A and B are shown apart, each in its own frame.
Chain A
Amino acid sequence: MAALPGSVAVVPTRRISRGLWHDAARRLLRNGPAIVGIVFIAFFVIAAILAPIIAPYSPTACTLSDGIHGPSPAHIMGTDLQGCDEYSRVLYGARISLTVGITAVFFGLVGGVLVGAIAGGAGGIVDGVLMRIIDVLLAVPGILLAIGIVAWLGHGEIQIVLAVGVSYAPIFARLLRGSLLALRESDYVIAARSMGASPVRILLRHMLPNALTPLIVQATLAAATAIIDVAGLGFLGLGPGDPRVAEWGEMLTDSARFLQNAPYLILFPGAAIVISAIGFNLLGDGLREALDPRLKR
């Protein structure tokens, strides 16, 4: 969690034009693995949206005495300990899990961009102080940071979103600052500066849009890790408070103890987590290659 896998900074050297975005999109759609990633994600997004229509049962109306039955025609993924239909819960779980994962990354991104932009844009003492704070946060293994935050704020979805988000923010901040520092010395920024553009304008109009591309890649990859981290928090007993709400991480951790007598309870939510994480990873890699043509071979 502290160091996101595959975090390789991509610093674009040219100003991004509409043409470049267009090129990037075209390259992305030609990238086989990335398409697979998009399909994986789209699959779960559609499941999340259509859950109320396609789910055969309510995810919360359960009968205790129907608990722990293997897959059958009535319950194609079986039932869990509370007697809930596992298939319906996996479908509904897509809503919470994707939302939690993506929102957590979004929070981290917003925080990271704010801090990174201020640090990279302002430089000097502000940069020094902010980067020391970032160093402090980065020095703590991410999951410990998240454990601490949940211990402090209490259990709940919002708390988990914040905890995971805060543990990602320093990574984004440092990445953005690095890109901004590199861009400050680039020809077109120097040109804009010499033409008398205000520093804020240079930052917002010229530097940020360029510096954001590596962040987009990183954020996509982080969405994959976020879904897994939320499950990890659940394993350590720090999941969201209401177990009636279907969420993959919680479903998985609650079922780890059924590995031997009801493995299907691990298989289905586990597969959902792994597949969606793979989806985000493939998409992230595709985006990276699409946004930095130098990598394309």
Chain B
Amino acid sequence: MKRLASLLAIAALVATACTSSSSTPAPASGGTLVVGLNGDMVFADPSLVSDGNSLYVGANVIQGLVGLKPGTISEVIPVLATDLPTVSADGKTYTFKLRTGVKFHDGSDFNAAAVKFNYDRWKAYTKGDLQDNAYYYGAVFGGFGDASNISSVDASDATTVVINLKTPQSNFLLASTLAVFGIQSPTALQKDNADTTPLKDNKYAQGQGESMVGTGPFMFKSWTPNDSIVIVRNPSYWDSANAAKLDQVTFKPFGDSTATLQALQSGGIDLAFSISPLDVATAKGAGLTMIDRGASCNQLNLDINQSVGGSPTIYANKSVRTAVAEALNKDSYVTAFYSGLGKAPTGFMPSATTGFKTETLPAYDATKATADLKAAGLTADQLTVDLYYPSNVVRPYMPDPKGIATAIANDLTKVGFTVNLKTEDWKGGYVSDATGGKFPLYLFGWTCDWAGADNFLYTAWFGYQDNKPNAQFGWANDQANTLMLKALGEPTVDAANADWGQVQDLLAQDLPMVPIVNSQPPGAMSSKVHGFVGASNGIEYFNTVTVTK
């Protein structure tokens, strides 16, 4: 066995010998970083995905006009644009000045025509496979084709792009930072026809051959489904000061947190995008470096539905909702399930979100909760409640759904409820039943797409659907809905934020959900990895990273 190990070591040396001969512990350039992801990429065309793994890889290869400052969740910086766009007074025209001398990985030029090509391509996505997968374009711009809020994109000269909106859209700039709006090479997109449907025949999306051709510090090299995704250094990156130092990053999908941690400890991978918060102590003890994810961009709630199947639930009574909120010892959940990496919310969104307003939420007080519940005058029958939690899923805000649900059930039992714990598979009915309004009391949360109030309050939760209150909550409040629509259409972010503030006041008044935690999902890396900047919105860049031998 020892001999085997030494042979292995030799093999590893052979593999890395060509990269660097430096023996100093100082950070050196070159080398391969192996990153453990939570799952595989879905498509090698970021415009067709909405999952975290695809975008995590994609953001290192493909860049947009604007992006987020590394490590932040709402600080917009220009990327392929030279500056942030100038906006017309009516909020309908955004003008971007583009960088010059930027080339795509296939050698073709990046210019205004390329930007226009991409924006026009997304808008023209046909019904079926393309629209079904390109969630974000539809969600941000209200639909495809004529339904899109983008009326036209003009390439007025080689370095100027003008985006014309039909109506003002206060989230335009922040949403534009999404990795799905990265600009890909028109030459490459046209070569294999990246718009081919069905997607099983789409070589570009499948990552076979020339795919994911952008302008980023890394270039897409290969993708063996469910085994590995390889990106390599772009030797002619336009921003030489921030060019990639590593030769290669290999992403490896993992399906299980115990396996991920053991892979990291055994040295098989260098960095794990996420580890279970319950493993933080073990990871630290094993000499691993924890990834600091900074401000939270997610929220777990105990969702309450005031109307299930058309009839009001016991939660339609505000004192019941208040009693539920007061019964929960959120701080104890943060300690037990998140290893302290998170905190109980101080409002209805993570506090770093644009437009966040601090609100006073009911504090943990089991005695008061018991009294409030008594005052509500429920029968014993009504006090027997179902609490739903999802199985077969781990979300950044919900590392152990079963455990948290058990703790909540125990807390609710202490104030006078009789709780039946029920579960469904996340994909096998849980999400559709929750959003379809079938659960009265259940765990649900949201990881921000972009860190704006609209993304949490309107998209995720309380926006009316088909002019009716979201079935997920059964919370009818026309005033809040009108305010939210007004905020979305404000020409400036500041004007919108004033509206969002009022919406949050209404939420605090009515308490239609119980925020539980904003978490900072932990990741970990070997002590040999340097220069990594974590962020809690799921986009992290590897160009600054080095590995010591």
Chain A interfacial positions (CB closer than 8 Å to B): 62, 64-65, 67, 81-82, 151, 154-155, 236-238, 241-244, 254, 256-261
Q: Roughly how many angstroms separate A151 CA and B279 CA in the complex, as a whole number?
A: 29
Task: Pick from B279, B282, B332: contact of A64, CB below 8 A.
Answer: B332
Q: Let me know if B333 and A260 touch, CB within 8 A.
A: no
Residue of B nearest to A240 (CB): B423
Q: Roughly how many angstroms separate A217 CA and B120 CA in the complex, as a whole number?
A: 70
Q: Let me know if B391 and A237 touch, CB within 8 A.
A: yes
Task: Pick from A67, A151, A254: contact of B428, CB below 8 A.
Answer: A151
Residues of A contacting B405 in the complex (Cβ-Cβ under 8 angstroms) = 243
Chain B interfacial positions (CB closer than 8 Å to A): 257-258, 261, 276, 278-279, 281-282, 285, 329, 332-333, 335-337, 391-392, 400, 402-403, 405-407, 409-410, 420-425, 428
Residue of A nearest to B278 (CB): A257
Q: Roughly how many angstroms separate A82 CA and B413 CA in the complex, as a whole number?
A: 14
Residues of A contacting B392 in the complex (Cβ-Cβ under 8 angstroms) = 236-238
Residues of A contacting B258 in the complex (Cβ-Cβ under 8 angstroms) = 256-257, 259
Contacts A62-B410, A261-B282 given; does A241 touch B276 at CB 8 Å: no
Q: Roughly how many angstroms separate A151 CA and B261 CA in the complex, as a whole number?
A: 28
Q: Let me know if B282 and A67 touch, CB within 8 A.
A: no
A-B contacts, 26 listed (Cβ < 8 Å)? A64-B333, A64-B410, A65-B332, A65-B335, A65-B336, A81-B336, A82-B403, A82-B406, A82-B410, A237-B392, A238-B392, A241-B421, A241-B423, A242-B421, A243-B402, A243-B403, A244-B406, A244-B409, A244-B410, A244-B421, A254-B402, A257-B258, A257-B279, A260-B261, A260-B282, A261-B285
Residues of A contacting B409 in the complex (Cβ-Cβ under 8 angstroms) = 244
Q: Roughly how many angstroms separate A199 CA and B409 CA in the complex, as a whole number?
A: 58
Q: Roughly how many angstroms separate A238 CA and B391 CA in the complex, as a whole number?
A: 8
Q: Roughly how many angstroms separate A62 CA and B335 CA in the complex, as a whole number?
A: 16
Main secondary structure of the interface of A (DSSP, over half): loop
- Pairs of residues from A and B, 5 with the lowest C-beta to C-beta distance, nearest first: A237-B392, A260-B282, A242-B421, A241-B423, A64-B332
Chain A proximity of B110: nearest CB distance (Å): 45
Residue of A nearest to B279 (CB): A257
Residues of A contacting B332 in the complex (Cβ-Cβ under 8 angstroms) = 64-65
Residues of B contacting A260 in the complex (Cβ-Cβ under 8 angstroms) = 261, 279, 282
Main secondary structure of the interface of B (DSSP, over half): helix
Contacts A64-B333, A155-B391 given; does A257 touch B425 at CB 8 Å: no
Task: Pick from B278, B406, B428: contact of A243, CB below 8 A.
Answer: B406
With A82-B403, A257-B279 known, 18 other A-B pairs at CB within 8 A are A64-B333, A65-B335, A67-B336, A81-B278, A81-B400, A155-B391, A155-B424, A236-B392, A237-B391, A238-B392, A241-B423, A242-B421, A243-B403, A243-B405, A243-B421, A254-B403, A257-B258, A257-B276
Q: Let me know if A241 and B422 touch, CB within 8 A.
A: yes
Task: Pick from A64, A242, A243, A244: contact of B336, CB below 8 A.
Answer: A64
Q: Let me know if A154 and B279 touch, CB within 8 A.
A: no
Q: Let me know if B410 and A261 touch, CB within 8 A.
A: no
Q: Roughly how many angstroms separate A151 CA and B391 CA in the complex, as a whole number?
A: 11
Residue of A nearest to B409 (CB): A244
Q: Let me know if A261 and B281 touch, CB within 8 A.
A: yes
Residue of A nearest to B399 (CB): A257
Chain A proximity of B266: nearest CB distance (Å): 12
Residue of B nearest to A81 (CB): B403
Task: Pick from A154, A243, A254, A261: contact of B424, CB below 8 A.
Answer: A154
Residues of A contacting B257 in the complex (Cβ-Cβ under 8 angstroms) = 257
Residues of B contacting A67 in the complex (Cβ-Cβ under 8 angstroms) = 336
Chain A proximity of B292: nearest CB distance (Å): 21
Task: Pick from A64, A237, A258: contact of B278, CB below 8 A.
Answer: A258
Chain B proximity of A152: nearest CB distance (Å): 9
Chain A proximity of B433: nearest CB distance (Å): 11
Q: Let me know if A82 and B407 touch, CB within 8 A.
A: yes
Residue of B nearest to A239 (CB): B391
Chain B proximity of A160: nearest CB distance (Å): 13
Chain B proximity of A64: nearest CB distance (Å): 5
Chain B proximity of A257: nearest CB distance (Å): 5
Contacts A64-B410, A82-B403 given; does A237 touch B282 at CB 8 Å: no
Residue of A nearest to B410 (CB): A62
Residue of B nearest to A258 (CB): B278
Residue of A nearest to B329 (CB): A64
Q: Roughly how many angstroms separate A177 CA and B400 CA in the complex, as a whole number?
A: 46
Residues of B contacting A242 in the complex (Cβ-Cβ under 8 angstroms) = 420-422
Residue of A nearest to B400 (CB): A81
Q: Roughly how many angstroms separate A64 CA and B337 CA in the complex, as a whole number?
A: 10
Chain A proximity of B426: nearest CB distance (Å): 9
Q: Roughly how many angstroms separate A256 CA and B261 CA in the complex, as a whole number?
A: 12
Residue of A nearest to B424 (CB): A154
Chain A proximity of B406: nearest CB distance (Å): 5
Which of A62, A65, A151, A155 has the most B CB atoms < 10 Å from its CB?
A: A155
Chain B proximity of A175: nearest CB distance (Å): 34
Q: Roughly how many angstroms separate A1 CA and B407 CA in the complex, as a whole number?
A: 34
Task: Pick from B282, B336, B403, B425: contact of A151, CB below 8 A.
Answer: B425
Chain A proximity of B416: nearest CB distance (Å): 15
Residues of B contacting A62 in the complex (Cβ-Cβ under 8 angstroms) = 410
Residue of B nearest to A257 (CB): B258
Chain B proximity of A252: nearest CB distance (Å): 13
Chain A proximity of B12: nearest CB distance (Å): 25
Residues of A contacting B406 in the complex (Cβ-Cβ under 8 angstroms) = 82, 243-244
Q: Roughly how many angstroms separate A256 CA and B259 CA in the complex, as a whole number?
A: 10
Residues of A contacting B424 in the complex (Cβ-Cβ under 8 angstroms) = 154-155
Q: Roughly how many angstroms separate A243 CA and B410 CA in the complex, as a whole number?
A: 11
Residues of A contacting B402 in the complex (Cβ-Cβ under 8 angstroms) = 243, 254
Residues of B contacting A259 in the complex (Cβ-Cβ under 8 angstroms) = 258
Q: Roughly how many angstroms separate A236 CA and B420 CA in the complex, as a whole number?
A: 22
Task: Pick from A64, A236, A256, A257: contact of B407, CB below 8 A.
Answer: A64
